[in-house]
Amino acid sequence: MSVGIKRLGLAVAAVFAMGFCALFAISLAMPADTVRERVKAQIEAVTGLDPVLRGKVAVSLFPTGSVRFDDVRLGGQSDGTSALTTEQLVVRLRFFPLLIGQIEIADINLVHPTITIGFDKDGRSNWSDHIDTLARALQPSPERARSFSEIRITDGTVLLQDAAQKIVQTLTNIEFALAWPAISKSFAAT
């Protein structure tokens, strides 16, 4: 009995060792720019919004896959402001697709984001077009790629601006987790 358990343990250890060796080899062979562009394209495909990556990018494929973008903006406006800016956008990659050289986002964490929600004098929000874009991007489609499962906000700030009422409010220390409906088939928020 103990010989069978030892063999099973050795087989499991060999499988894990081969997986980590494959992941290490992929991390050496896959250029960081390729990972960066694939992650950016996947964010745009899932959300419909084009992320503007203005800062440094750090890619780590070993021992776990992650990409960190500094100074990211979503939803640029003609007046130069963005609906969402974040100090860091941290993307965790799925383990098993990474073993075969595919880049798939598991989840996203926005660290120190600032979300600006503004209403003009007519009551129209700067998020109206972005919400429409997100709604179109979330429509079920058979050719649609699998999307990431969760978006988290860590230590966020929300700026509310109403031009008609001349109101400006700031909400700080926002912690938020959202289960992305395209993968979970149900909506959950914390």
Residue 76 binned pLDDT confidence (cut-offs 50, 70, 90):
low
Task: Tell me if 189 sits within 8 A of 177, measured CB to CB.
Answer: yes
In the chain, where do the E strands start and end? 52-53, 57-60, 66-76, 82-93, 105-119, 150-162, 167-179, 188-189
User: Per residue in 111-127, pLDDT tens?
Assistant: 999 999 888 888 888 88
Q: What is the pLDDT of residue 184?
A: 47
* pTM across the whole model: 0.73
- DSSP percent split of the chain into helix, strand, coil, nearest 5: 35, 40, 30
User: Per residue in 9-39, pLDDT tens?
Assistant: 777 777 777 766 666 666 556 677 888 888 8
* Mean local confidence (pLDDT), 59-67: 80
